[in-house]
Amino acid sequence: MNATTQSASFDLSAYMSDVGRRARAAGRLMSCAESAAKNAALLGMADELERASAQLIKENRKDLDAGIANGLDAALLDRLELNAARIASMAEGLRQIAALPDPVGEISDLKYRPSGIQVGRMRVPLGVIGIIYESRPNVTADAAGLCLKSGNAAILRGGSEAIHSNQAIAACIHAGLKNAGLPEDAVQVIETIDREAVSLLVRMKEFVDVIVPRGGKGLIERVSRDALVPVIKHLHGVCHVYIDDKADDAKALAVAYNAKCQRYGTCNTMETLLVAESVAARILPPLAQLYREAGVELRGCARTRAFLPDSLPATEADWDEEYLAPILSIRVVDGLDQAMEHIHAHGSNHTDAIITEDLTHARRFLREIDSSSVMVNASTRFADGFEYGLGAEIGISTDKLHARGPVGLEGLTSLKYVVLGDGHVRK
Amino acid sequence: MNATTQSASFDLSAYMSDVGRRARAAGRLMSCAESAAKNAALLGMADELERASAQLIKENRKDLDAGIANGLDAALLDRLELNAARIASMAEGLRQIAALPDPVGEISDLKYRPSGIQVGRMRVPLGVIGIIYESRPNVTADAAGLCLKSGNAAILRGGSEAIHSNQAIAACIHAGLKNAGLPEDAVQVIETIDREAVSLLVRMKEFVDVIVPRGGKGLIERVSRDALVPVIKHLHGVCHVYIDDKADDAKALAVAYNAKCQRYGTCNTMETLLVAESVAARILPPLAQLYREAGVELRGCARTRAFLPDSLPATEADWDEEYLAPILSIRVVDGLDQAMEHIHAHGSNHTDAIITEDLTHARRFLREIDSSSVMVNASTRFADGFEYGLGAEIGISTDKLHARGPVGLEGLTSLKYVVLGDGHVRK
């Protein structure tokens, strides 16, 4: 089937069921694949991507041309583009995944029980993982690599605007799998641009064990609403830095500046700064000066504007906003309790930090803030799989069940119990 | 509000939202409650249950009388009944939960990263847990105890046939919470018998973090179908014992007998026995004799019936049946591969065991069987929170995400990341 010349009689439902059935069969084989084969496949895919670089760029050109014709904006076209450097970076990502330890099959906590049986837990793949993502074609290689290494089969559904690029990348992935003696169905890229394919994918409970949507809030909300399969989701990041009355000034300035300005468009970027009233007069003016130099628009509460008269007034809506832009809302609070109240009321359970030298305040913040990452004297920008030592991440979960925070290989596995006896029976 | 004299103007939706809001508020307090207070509450509840024994039996009598009037069968009436021994056992269960280590707040894997930050994970409560269960009133105390110890708030919805018993137990729970200085809203028992309350409970995503249904397959399927909140579910147990061609005869007889006959009505009871053809002639006749003496009806495949001519013929439907009764289906297989194929095709991912002295067969079975508990030379009846050393269990999960197998205190918690720095910023 060719994505661009689909016949009217194409049966989408039958096609998706077939994809699911093949993924389930491949998943069973992948769950028992040896590390050496999986690593050979990853390294083979990396080589193949580099070898096919010219072809990838040619296929990507078709997507770019269609994107221009369809009026995609410059930012989207930039995300869509493949060039030699980006292809090398995809290959490097796969080689890094090959170098990670294999999580599958590890048995932990194997202990003798009073009955005489030994009970432990074995780390095992989840089975079949569906990944739904938007324009960046590099996700195709990243997601395939992580699912493969963790012993899962993957069904990948990229954006329709990247269909030629994704299929060219898929060819390299399949070559890598085949050369390593692993089933090509272990990574399937959905070949139709029909949006209904996503609705079917997220409802195939018999074939798919978990869905990981990667993209904007709209995509994730739509997937979560339709899904019958469990979703590892990350809705949005309204991250806070709270500068405590016991903060060190230099650390406060460094972290609050970095958390906002190191990158504006990421989910772990600070969106609201909270400052204890007793230090606001000292901290806010020099900090505002740094933000102004970086071109960050400041929106403050009434108390903030007393210290920073040229900031704009923040509205109630600002406290819930994920700007993903050089905009920062600032609120002056009475102290730790009011800061934590604010985070509970307006945060998104993603990442929140306190700047303090006070041990009791730090302990309370770590315990009481219910976010996937809670930090003391460190920039929220550290909330990332690579920074945490996971080696790679397939996304950041703001859910509470299963995986929370950056999701790496471990988040694509679960634990089953293993019991060893010698003819033991229950009394 | 009184359960039996509800006014027509009762606004169920407002009532449930109020329950949810109060649970959320109590959950926040419970997440930071100290172990000493939680244990004092558990011990206080236990004392209160014993002190109120006569009152509990009186309230339970109302439920029993109504049950008799409504024509409940003897088994259901037995499950519903409270007596002094059962009340003492509930109290003992709470004291055992008090004696377990507190999982909340434990920080693990705290390591320095190359950037200089320390990254670890803290075990934290899930928040608000909804438990939906059927006639046994002791679940009210068990579930409350486990949720409380793990720092969660609980919303309990028992069967309408046990409403007076459950409310009397709830009064003891609230006394225990109050005396320990903890919020009474930490454990709420739904006071209406309106079935619509369940549908509302499982959809209150803003107030409830996870639903644990405890009951028959019908209840669990209904809850799973309606739920918007994630469900920790255990659908059914079609458990297998496979007697390998390398099995020790004595172990095979002991385990296969125990797995079926130690108790018939539990989810970890064997429902299908698989026997390697090469040992069937030796194993099946003496084993069938044991089953016959225990009154177990045998249903065999054609090859089985060649060895056991007086067994009934098994139909295709038998392989998928959870009998929960003295009935056993038996299939003779070629060997390990066909046994594993059968389990993949007909098992319910609950608990499966191999009887073998062969290390390679044992290793393959442990790795390749995708069930929440996989056993070698041990009875499937061991799949249980107490036997595994979890101290207590709120249920057994056959799901793959989050908790798998018996779910104890740990399954009612999740891990968040904690990051400690000294003014660290991301480069």
Predicted confidence (pLDDT) per residue in A153-195, tens digit: 999 999 999 999 999 999 999 999 999 999 999 999 998 888 8
Q: What is the mean pLDDT of residues B91-105?
A: 95
Note whether B414 contacts A: Cβ–Cβ < 8 A. yes
Note whether B208 contacts A: Cβ–Cβ < 8 A. no
Cα–Cα distance measured from residue B243 to residue B284, given in angstroms and rounded to the nearest whole number:
10
Nearest CA in chain B to A225: B228
Tell me the shortest Cα–Cα distance from B119 to chain A, in angstroms.
6
Cα–Cα distance measured from residue A229 to residue B118, given in angstroms and rounded to the nearest whole number:
35
This prediction has a pTM of 0.91
CB-CB under 8 Å, B105 with A374: no
Q: Which residues does chain A have within 8 Å of residue B129's beta carbon, measured at their own beta carbons?
A: none
Q: Which residues does chain B have within 8 Å of residue A230's beta carbon, measured at their own beta carbons?
A: 230, 399, 401
Note whether A347 contacts B: Cβ–Cβ < 8 A. no
Banded pLDDT at B4 (limits 50, 70, 90): very low
Strand residue runs (E) in B30-185: 107-112, 118-125, 128-133, 153-157
Residue type, A238: V
Of B112, B114, B421, the closest CA to residue A377 belongs to: B421
Question: Dihedral through CA A145, CA A151, CA A153, CA A158, nearest 10?
Answer: -20
Which of B251, B373, B382, B393 should one mutate to test binding to chain A, selecting the residue with the greatest count of A CBs within 10 A?
Answer: B382
Of A345, A368, A372, A365, the closest CA to residue A276 belongs to: A365
Q: Which residues does chain B have within 8 Å of residue A414's beta carbon, measured at their own beta carbons?
A: 400-402, 404
Q: Which element (helix H / strand E) includes A423? A: strand A413-424
Nearest CA in chain A to B208: A400
Across the interface, which of A113, A379, A387 has its CB nearest the CB of B389? Answer: A113
b/e map A339-376, b = 16+ CB within 10 Å:
bbebbeebbbbbbbbbbbeeeebbebbbbbbbbbbbbb
**DSSP per residue, B293-317:** HHT-EEEE-HHHHHH-TTSEEPPGG
Tell me the shortest Cα–Cα distance from B258 to chain A, in angstroms.
6
Note whether A292 contacts B: Cβ–Cβ < 8 A. no
Q: Which residues does chain A have within 8 Å of residue B254's beta carbon, measured at their own beta carbons?
A: 423, 425
- Alpha-carbon Rg for chain A in angstroms: 24
Cα–Cα distance measured from residue B172 to residue A377, given in angstroms and rounded to the nearest whole number:
45
Q: What is the pLDDT along chain A (427 residues), one digit of tens a residue?
A: 444 445 567 899 999 999 999 999 999 999 999 999 999 999 999 999 999 999 999 999 999 999 999 999 998 899 999 999 999 999 999 999 999 999 999 999 999 999 999 999 999 999 999 999 987 899 999 999 999 999 999 999 999 999 999 999 999 999 999 999 999 999 999 988 888 999 999 999 999 999 999 888 888 888 988 888 989 887 789 999 999 999 999 999 999 999 999 999 889 999 999 999 999 999 999 999 999 999 999 999 999 999 999 999 999 999 999 999 999 999 999 999 999 999 999 999 999 999 999 999 999 999 999 999 999 999 999 999 989 988 888 888 988 888 899 999 999 999 999 999 999 999 9
CB-CB under 8 Å, B421 with A375: yes
Under a CB-based contact definition with an 8 Å cutoff, are residues B124 and A393 in contact?
no
Tell me the shortest Cα–Cα distance from B425 to chain A, in angstroms.
5
What single DSSP character describes residue B3? Answer: T
Residues with Cβ within 8 Å of B29's Cβ and at least 6 positions away in sequence, in order, are B182, B183, B186
State how far the alpha carbon of A190 is from the alpha carbons of A19, A185, B32, in Å.
8, 11, 46
CB-CB under 8 Å, B373 with A419: yes
Under a CB-based contact definition with an 8 Å cutoff, are residues A31 and A159 in contact?
no
Q: In this structure, how many other beta carbons lie within 10 angstroms of the beta carbon of residue B412?
A: 27
Q: Which residues does chain A have within 8 Å of residue B379's beta carbon, measured at their own beta carbons?
A: 421, 424-426
Taking only the tens place, the pLDDT of each residue in B312-351 is 999 999 999 999 999 999 999 999 999 999 999 999 999 9
Across the interface, which of B117, B401, B423 has its CB nearest the CB of A414? Answer: B401
Cα–Cα distance measured from residue B170 to residue B166, given in angstroms and rounded to the nearest whole number:
6
Q: In this structure, how many other beta carbons lie within 10 angstroms of the beta carbon of residue B205?
A: 13
Note whether B425 contacts A: Cβ–Cβ < 8 A. yes
Note whether A416 contacts B: Cβ–Cβ < 8 A. yes
Tell me the shortest Cα–Cα distance from B74 to chain A, in angstroms.
27
Across the interface, which of A250, A401, A417 has its CB nearest the CB of B373? Answer: A417
Q: For a pLDDT cut of 90, what percent of chain B falls above it?
A: 85
pLDDT of residue B235: 74
Interface of B with A in 213-242 (CB under 8 A): 230
CB-CB under 8 Å, A377 with B416: no
Specify the 3-state DSSP secondary structure of A418. Answer: strand
Tell me the shortest Cα–Cα distance from B372 to chain A, in angstroms.
5
Q: Which residue is it, tokens 């994918």? A: A201
Of A128, A196, A116, the closest CA to residue A156 belongs to: A128
Q: Which residues does chain B have within 8 Å of residue A375's beta carbon, measured at their own beta carbons?
A: 418-421
Q: Which residues does chain A have within 8 Å of residue B366's beta carbon, measured at their own beta carbons?
A: 122, 418
Question: Bridge partners of B272?
Answer: B240, B329
Question: Bridge partners of B313?
Answer: B300
Interface of B with A in 96-155 (CB under 8 A): 105, 111, 113, 115, 117, 119, 122, 124, 126-127
Task: Give the angle B324-B370-B131 at the CA atoms, nearest 5°.
Answer: 55
pLDDT of residue B321: 96
Nearest CA in chain B to A228: B225
Cα–Cα distance measured from residue A357 to residue A338, given in angstroms and rounded to the nearest whole number:
18
CB-side exposure of B164: number of CA atoms within 13 Å? Answer: 18
Cα–Cα distance measured from residue B96 to residue B405, given in angstroms and rounded to the nearest whole number:
21
Tell me the shortest Cα–Cα distance from A268 to chain B, in angstroms.
11
**DSSP per residue, B225-246:** HH-SS-B-------EEEEE-TT
Under a CB-based contact definition with an 8 Å cutoff, are residues A175 and A33 in contact?
no
CB-side exposure of A330: number of CA atoms within 13 Å? Answer: 34
CB-CB under 8 Å, B426 with A381: yes
Tell me the shortest Cα–Cα distance from B124 to chain A, in angstroms.
8
Q: Which residues does chain A have within 8 Å of residue B21's beta carbon, measured at their own beta carbons?
A: none
Tell me the shortest Cα–Cα distance from A242 to chain B, in angstroms.
13
pLDDT of residue B123: 97
Cα–Cα distance measured from residue B189 to residue A375, given in angstroms and rounded to the nearest whole number:
37
Under a CB-based contact definition with an 8 Å cutoff, are residues A32 and B367 in contact?
yes
Which pair of tokens denotes residue B219?
């209840």
pLDDT of residue A215: 82
CB-CB under 8 Å, B124 with A426: no
Question: Dihedral through CA B382, CA B387, CA B389, CA B395, nearest 10?
Answer: 80
Nearest CA in chain B to A382: B426
State how far the alpha carbon of A22 is from the alpha carbons of A129, A156, A184, A203, in Å.
13, 13, 10, 16
Task: Give the angle B363-B368-B373 at the CA atoms, nearest 5°.
Answer: 85
Q: Are strands A270-276 and A327-333 parallel, antiparallel or unpaired?
A: parallel
Q: Which residues does chain A have within 8 Å of residue B399's beta carbon, measured at their own beta carbons?
A: 230
Cα–Cα distance measured from residue A129 to residue A213, given in angstroms and rounded to the nearest whole number:
10
Of A271, A266, A402, A390, the closest CA to residue A342 belongs to: A271
Under a CB-based contact definition with an 8 Å cutoff, are residues A241 and A380 in contact?
yes
Of B208, B185, B204, the closest CA to residue B196 belongs to: B204
Specify the 3-state DSSP secondary structure of B413. Answer: strand
Tell me the shortest Cα–Cα distance from A418 to chain B, in angstroms.
5
Specify the 3-state DSSP secondary structure of A369. Answer: coil
Under a CB-based contact definition with an 8 Å cutoff, are residues B399 and A387 in contact?
no
Specify the 3-state DSSP secondary structure of B11. Answer: coil
CB-CB under 8 Å, A113 with B400: no
Cα–Cα distance measured from residue A370 to residue B172, given in angstroms and rounded to the nearest whole number:
30
pLDDT of residue A5: 45
Residues with Cβ within 8 Å of A85's Cβ and at least 6 positions away in sequence, in order, are none
State how far the alpha carbon of B389 is from the alpha carbons of A180, A246, B57, B258, in Å.
41, 44, 32, 20
Alpha helices by DSSP H, A32-151: 35-51, 53-69, 74-80, 84-99, 138-149
Which of A30, A207, A358, A382 should one mutate to test binding to chain B, selecting the residue with the greatest count of B CBs within 10 A?
Answer: A382
CB-CB under 8 Å, B381 with A255: no
Cα–Cα distance measured from residue B409 to residue B147, given in angstroms and rounded to the nearest whole number:
8
Q: Which residues does chain B have within 8 Å of residue A400's beta carbon, measured at their own beta carbons?
A: 126-127, 209-210, 414
Nearest CA in chain A to B126: A400
Tell me the shortest Cα–Cα distance from A224 to chain B, in angstroms.
10
* Phi/psi-derived region of residue A117, left when phi > 0, alpha when psi is between -120 and 50, beta in every other case: beta
Burial label, A194 (beta-carbon count in 10 A; 0-12, 13-18, 19+): middle
Chain-centroid distance of CA B338 in Å reads 30
Residue B422 pLDDT > 90: yes
Question: Bridge partners of A406?
Answer: A396
pLDDT of residue A1: 42
Residue B152 pLDDT > 80: yes
pLDDT of residue B6: 54
Which pair of tokens denotes residue B418?
């904690």
Q: Which residue is it, tokens 């004595």? A: B250
Cα–Cα distance measured from residue A183 to residue A178, given in angstroms and rounded to the nearest whole number:
7
Nearest CA in chain B to A425: B379
